[in-house]
Amino acid sequence: MRIAVTYDKDTKEVFQHFGHTKYIKIYDVEDNKITSETIIDIAGNGHGAIASLLKENNVDSLICGGIGSGAIETLNNLNIKFYGGVSGNADEAVDNLLHNSLKYTDNITCTHHEGEDHDCNSHNCHEDKHGCSSNH
């Protein structure tokens, strides 16, 4: 199994906008344990290029913060399971996923694509001025 996380290399946290991430961290998992980790510099190429990269690298699941509806559709078409609305340390998020304790939002989408810097994981982000919506 391969799990990818949108990654902030400086803070080592889950990057909060799928289509703008500059790095993806990929974890190889066997017997529910991480066996290797790789950081890929994707230079923020947009959701289509990122999704293709995930598929080329045989990623099964993605952990991310905010994600747009187009990216969700693309991931679904590629059979990549995503866990959106996640924040905090990337390694801990993967560990939590492996132990069925990851806190994520089933239905989170961000409709903005430029402008303000914000956290789409906020539980106050229901159809707000940033264009995010989530079902809690």
Domains of the chain: 2-135 (3.30.420.130)
The pTM assigned to this predicted structure is 0.79
Q: Give residue 35's pLDDT.
A: 97
**Which range, 2-16, 43-57, 65-79, 102-116, is most confident?**
2-16
Per-residue confidence at 105, pLDDT binned at 50, 70, 90? confident
Q: Tell me the CA distances in angstroms from 40 to 32, 62, 77, 98, 130, one per residue in order.
A: 22, 14, 22, 22, 28
Answer yes or no: is pLDDT of 19 > 70. yes
Query: By the 8 A CB rule, do 86 and 63 touch?
Result: yes
For residue 23, pLDDT beyond 50 = yes
The residue assigned the tokens 């391969």 is 2
**Local confidence band at 54 (pLDDT 50, 70, 90 cut-offs):** very high
- Tell whether the torsion through CA atoms of 121, 124, 126 and 130 is positive or negative: negative
- The vertex-52 CA angle with 51 and 56, nearest 5°, equals 120
